[in-house]
Structure 1
Amino acid sequence: MANQIPAMSFILAIILRSTKFAWKSSGSQARLIGTLISAAGAISITLYKGPTVRSHSSSSPSLAAPSPPRLFVFTSTHENWILGCILFAASSFTLTIWNTVQVGTIKMCPQVMKIISFYSLFGTLQSAVVALFMERDPSAWALHLDFQLLVIVLTAIFSSLIRSSVQIWCTRLKGPYFVPIFKPFGIAYASTFGCLLFPDTFHYGSMMGAFVCGVGYYTVLWGQMKDEAMQKSDGGNKNDVPDQKVPLLQDESQV
């Protein structure tokens, strides 16, 4: 669902009239087609899971006859796939709105570190209030030196500190589109390590839907790059005035 962010940003930009859709532009056409492909992939992931890629055998053998495979999500009894996909889609949409707000905020307040500091401060306060409201048992907040605490610490170090620093460095070195190009590969990495190292179950239907989402993601990204390249070229052509059209005397009264 995180791969839907470029398509959602394109739709939101059209609704807010911050970008113009040109039917004759190949970039706008690619962004529209990529949005439709991403939506189709998201719907297929939500409704169809397909056969199991790798099934994990249970520790206690069962003498009962195996139940027929449930290929569609709505026939599954113990998995809330639809609710999970809707929540992930809502999270991606709110992140799209947040990115749009950030663009306007940076234009009014160029101090990026000040914005990040306020964002981290208020995010921590809001998370603390919600967490204390949802979990009122004081014993649940006790820290234990176990694997869960190690995962939290490693996630904070690698996801927040190291990943952000590497992304900023790569963006400054290679441009703004270098980092987003590798985003769909996270699905393949998570699926592979989930099947090999953890007792996770993945399905062919969800993998095909993820592939379709990746195709839509790259299509929207290519269309955005194409539109920005055309805008830059048009801006350069407007600024380049031919020499024969420049008057030698700007004001005859001064001669």
Structure 2
Amino acid sequence: MMMGIIMRSVKLVEMLPFSVMVVMEGCTILLTIWAKTSMTEYDMSPFVFVVYTHVLSSIILLLYSFVFHCKNTSATQQPLFSFGLFVRCFLLGLTGIAVSQNLAFLGLSYSSPILVCAMGLMLPTFSFLLSIILRRTKTDWRSSSFQAKVVGTIISIMGAIVVELYKGPYIRPSSVLSSSSYSVLFQKAGQYLVFSSPATEHWVLGGILLAGASISVSVWNIIQIGTMKLYPEVEVMEVVSYYSLLGTIQCVIFSLFIERSLSVWKLKLNMDLLLIVLTACFGGLVRSRVHNWCINMKGTHYVPMFKPFGIVFATIFGVSLSANNLHYGSVLGAVVTGVGYFTIMWGQIKEDEDEQCVNHNDQSHLESANSEAKVPLLEEEIGV
């Protein structure tokens, strides 16, 4: 009896991170569709949306960092406002917020959430290509992990090309679901939510902008890893708050040059304001905290594995909200990109496992050598 309760409790604990990550991806797609609706139906500028979202997000992060990490600040040996860290945080804010976010939401305004998902899955591909260009990865063709990354890169690029250039016929909801209560609920929601732009959309331009956003995030990842290695004494949330503030300032300066009309910047007490608040809270604090919690429980590769779930949610919402906004080609290309994404992730996991085995063997040889080196010393002491 007690053993059965314990086993059920263990299964629930194991299912909790999985369920939470699936919910996170679903919320991300819903907020993406909502943002698409605001930019298409209510003419909200993507630049204004990014500025207001990150202003609020930076305030939340600064308050969170001050409340929960102020005690650790005095204990850090590395000053937070050193010039070297300022330059790195400036670049993190530029690549991770100012460039990537503006390109992402501008690309969304020209395309749809399914294309956002597909180009988001290109992130490991761009990171792998950048690591080769910067010579951070050795081109070992005999390694199975390197081969998997190359194959996954080719598959991802093929999927992205399909998403960009081939749409195919519209996907229409089945007649079985049309009479269900869930279908009626989605049809009512579809009267207020817009999944895709009209037929005159600049789909290819949107894809290029989204690809540019993924490249910017790849550069941000490289800078972030180097920053945390160079400044291990600084709290992670302090660095996040610091570069978030700098990135927000960059967004404000950049957007003021583009959107000079004051009417564009005026906010009303409507659903757009609620969208900004929810996006800032979710993207700025909730998602990062949940991801860190799952990584601590399941490891570094657990969270990235759920990113392709966005394709599933985007397809479901796209079919349910409107019959004439989602194409077979878009879904097919996104699925192919997802296959490439998982292939690259498998190669990365295999590479990390091989490195751990090498490090473990090196440590074992070192311990063995140390023990052998100690034996003659002991014998000399006894001989004396």
Normalising by the smaller structure, the TM-score range is: 0.7 to 0.9
2:376 aligned with 1:249 = yes
2:171 alignment partner in structure 1: 53
Instruction: Give distance in 1, aligned partners of 2:161 and 2:266.
Output: 41
Instruction: Give distance in 2, aligned partners of 1:147 and 1:198.
Output: 21
Map residues 188-207 of structure 1 onto 2, 5 A cutoff.
188-197=312-321, 201-207=325-331
2:134 aligned with 1:29 = no
Instruction: Give distance in 2, aligned partners of 1:229 and 1:34.
Output: 18
Instruction: Give distance in 2, aligned partners of 1:79 and 1:138.
Output: 27
- 1:26-49 CA distance string (max 9 Å, x none): 111111100110011011111111
Instruction: Give distance in 2, aligned partners of 1:200 and 1:189.
Output: 17
2:207 aligned with 1:85 = yes
1:240 aligns to what SS in structure 2?
Answer: helix
Name the aligned partner's letter for residue 105 of structure 1. T
Instruction: Give distance in 1, aligned partners of 2:199 and 2:275.
Output: 30
CA RMSD of aligned residues (A): 2.4
* Bigger helix fraction: 2
CA contact (8 A) 2:170 2:323 kept: no
When structure 1 is superposed on structure 2, of 95-104 and 159-168 the one drifting more is: 159-168
- Change in 2 beyond 3 A, CA 1:194/1:154: farther
Instruction: Give distance in 2, aligned partners of 1:121 and 1:170.
Output: 26
Name the aligned partner's letter for residue 167 of structure 1. H
Instruction: Give distance in 2, aligned partners of 1:215 and 1:23.
Output: 21
Name the aligned partner's letter for residue 180 of structure 1. P
Name the aligned partner's letter for residue 88 of structure 1. L
2:268 alignment partner in structure 1: 144
2:4 alignment partner in structure 1: none
Task: Report the CA distance between 1:199 and its aligned residue.
Answer: 7.3
2:311 aligned with 1:187 = yes
- Change in 2 beyond 3 A, CA 1:164/1:27: same
CA contact (8 A) 2:154 2:340 kept: yes
Instruction: Give distance in 1, aligned partners of 2:168 and 2:321.
Output: 22
Q: List gaps (5 residues or longer) in structure 1.
A: 56-75
- Change in 2 beyond 3 A, CA 1:205/1:17: same
- 1:165-213 CA distance string (max 9 Å, x none): 1111111111111110000111221221133236760100111000000
- Change in 2 beyond 3 A, CA 1:156/1:245: closer
2:230 alignment partner in structure 1: 108
Task: Report the CA distance between 1:161 and its aligned residue.
Answer: 2.2
Task: Report the CA distance between 1:119 and its aligned residue.
Answer: 0.7
1:126 alignment partner in structure 2: 250
- 1:18-69 CA distance string (max 9 Å, x none): 12132121111111100110011011111111111139xxxxxxxxxxxxxx
Instruction: Give distance in 2, aligned partners of 1:245 and 1:186.
Output: 53
Name the aligned partner's letter for residue 190 of structure 1. A
Name the aligned partner's letter for residue 118 of structure 1. Y
- Change in 2 beyond 3 A, CA 1:199/1:133: farther
- Change in 2 beyond 3 A, CA 1:97/1:250: farther
Q: Which one of 131, 135, 139 corresponds to residue 13 of structure 1?
A: 131
Q: Which one of 214, 219, 225 corresponds to residue 97 of structure 1?
A: 219
Question: What TM-score, normalized to structure 1?
Answer: 0.85
Map residues 39-78 of structure 1 onto 2, 5 A cutoff.
39-54=157-172, 78=200
1:221 alignment partner in structure 2: 345
2:95 alignment partner in structure 1: none
Name the aligned partner's letter for residue 156 of structure 2. S
Question: What TM-score, normalized to structure 2?
Answer: 0.57
When structure 1 is superposed on structure 2, of 189-198 and 116-125 the one drifting more is: 189-198
CA contact (8 A) 1:54 1:201 kept: no
Q: What is the identity percentage for the equivalent residue pairs of Structure 1 and Structure 2?
A: 46
